[in-house]
Structures are given as C-alpha cells and as structure tokens.
Amino acid sequence: MPYLDSIRVFVRTVELGSITAGGRDLRLTPAVASNRIRDLENRLGIRLFNRTTRKIAPTEAGRLYYDHAKEIIEALDRAEAAVANYSQHPRGAIRVLSPLGLARRVVAPLVPEFNDLYPDLAIQLRLSDRKVDIFDERVDVAIVLGTPEDSSLKARKIMDCPRVLCAAPIYLDHFGTPQTPEELTEQNHRCLLLRFPGTQEYFWTLETPNGPARFNVSGPYDADEGDVLTEWALAGRGIVNKPWFEVASHIRSGALVPILEETPPPPSSLACLYPHRRLLDPKIRLFVDFMTKKCKARVEGMMRGLPRTDLSG
C-alpha cells in the first residue's frame, strides 16, 4: 500500500517537524521518506510543505490535508485492532515510552522475552526522562514512575516503588551525614536535582512524623537525565533522591549509603499508561498484561534483601 505508506510518512513528518524524524519513526531512511513525500505531492498535484535550509512547515493545503489524513490513519488503526482478535498471531508495532533508568534496568531487558512469545510484534522503545505528550508522539504504552496528570489516559498500576536518599561515603565524610530533613536546605549540603528547562522551583517531598512535607533543596548540579545524577552521587558530588531499585546494587556494594531513612521520600507508583482507545487493540493488551507481571517481579528481585523497602501495592 504505497499510497497509505506515503500518508503515514506525511502525518509523522508534520507531527515531528522534519522528514528525517518522521522517516526514522517509521524505520525509513531520510531518502526513502523524502521520496514518499514527493510521491504524495505528485499524486495530489500540490505542495504539502514549505521547505527552507533550516526547517520544514506544512503549507495551508498541507495543514488541511493533515487533518483529514490523520483521521484516515487513526480509522485504519482502529479497523486493524477490531479484527485482530480473529488472528492467532498478533502483528504490528507497539510504540513504548519509558524513563531512562527504568527502561534500562527493568523494561528493556524484558522486551526480548516478550518478542520470543510474539515474534510478529515489533517493539519500538523510546527512552526519555522528559515529559512527553503520548498523543502527539503516538505512543501506545508508557511505563512510568509517578501519577499521570492526564485523565484521558488509562493507568494500570504495577506496584509502589520505595525511594531513598543516598550519598557516597566520601561525600558524607566531607559534608557530614544529615540527621534531619531541615539540614538538606542548609547551604553546606548539595542535592543533585532532576530538573528540566523552564523549571522555576525545586523541592523534595519527605515523609515526616507530621505527614509529607516539602523541602526546598538546592545544589550546584542539575540534569534532565536520572542516571547522570547517580554517577555524580557515586563520585561524591552530592545527595541523590532515587527509586531503591535504581541504586540497589550501589547500596549493596557500599558505594552509596542511605540517609534520613526515618523520613524517606514517598514511594513512586510504577504503572502502564495508554490511551483509552487502545483497549480495543489485543496486542496492546498482551503487552500491558506481560509488563505488569514481569516488571513487578524484576523490581522485587533487584531489591530483595535490602532494608526498608516495603513492596506493598
């Protein structure tokens, strides 16, 4: 279906802002993606994009065509999902999104196991610690830590993941070990922050005898990638706030030491998120069912034997 393939390339190019990105998302080379766009323009007899050396943007006709083309693609996806129950061998691609640390340690190792069970399904895993619009990026399933803000998403909770504040022994020897959460806000302590461009303030929430409380923390380092913070903590550069499973091996080895264990951060909810309409698609349901079971088992295995890691939920 070359014509439909060209429409898919066009839709993703509009949504991602470049032919290269649109083609990459569909596993096409830039040259093939460009040819698909050119074939579509020749078929329609109109120019769909205004092109400059720096960017590409849809023309007025292109924007109009996009609105209708997107409806066609979504209708086709729904039609394929509706009849998928009649097939004994589910086919197609599943676009999966997950934060870097979670994906590397938990999700990615499970993908080959799922593919062994369903070899005709292709998993397209995207790793990002940034907030991503699931609808704009056409994500089928997001496996995340935290509570979703978008009520239009369906959430399948997997488990509660305990969190921990920790630092390297060399840091604690130099700056001292905080005995109360209030000490974190003092200038002599350095907190390693997961922060994105545009963030106006930053705080850590900790469980105190009076309930959850926010503490405005600061430090000379911040990054938008969680594993970078772990590396800085291992190098003795500050205190990090992480899910236990992400730092379990470092705590076992003594490279990182838990602190303020009587006032820990609240646990993060590990969950699968997906648009409500995806409930119609059996392959999405298969993937969510598999990951719900396997992710919990993997996280529990990583934390087995560590203190103060209540895995209820």
- The SS3 assignment for 155 reads strand
Measuring CA to CA, how many Å separate 78 from each of 74, 82, 261, 274, 277? 6, 6, 49, 15, 8
Task: Locate 31 and state its tokens.
Answer: 């040259």
The answer to whether residue 311 is domain-embedded is no
Instruction: Estimate to the nearest angstrom the gap between the alpha carbon of 84 and the chain centroid.
Output: 27
| 228 and 140 belong to one structural domain | no
Domain termination site, one of 84, 103, 119:
84
The answer to whether residue 23 is domain-embedded is yes
What CATH number corresponds to the domain at position 38? 1.10.10.10
The answer to whether residue 167 is domain-embedded is yes
DSSP classification of residue 181: G
| 134 and 80 belong to one structural domain | no
What CATH number corresponds to the domain at position 279? 3.40.190.10
The answer to whether residue 312 is domain-embedded is no
pLDDT in tens, the chain (313 residues): 578 888 888 888 888 888 888 888 777 888 888 889 988 888 888 999 988 767 788 999 989 998 898 888 878 777 776 666 555 667 788 889 898 888 989 999 999 999 999 998 889 898 877 766 666 667 888 898 876 665 567 788 899 999 999 999 999 999 999 999 999 887 678 999 887 655 555 788 999 888 898 988 888 888 888 889 999 999 999 999 999 999 999 999 999 999 999 999 999 999 988 876 544 578 888 899 999 999 999 998 888 766 655 554 4
Domain termination site, one of 20, 51, 84:
84
The answer to whether residue 310 is domain-embedded is no
Structural domain boundaries, residue 62: 2-84
Number of domains in the chain: 3
| 172 and 253 belong to one structural domain | yes
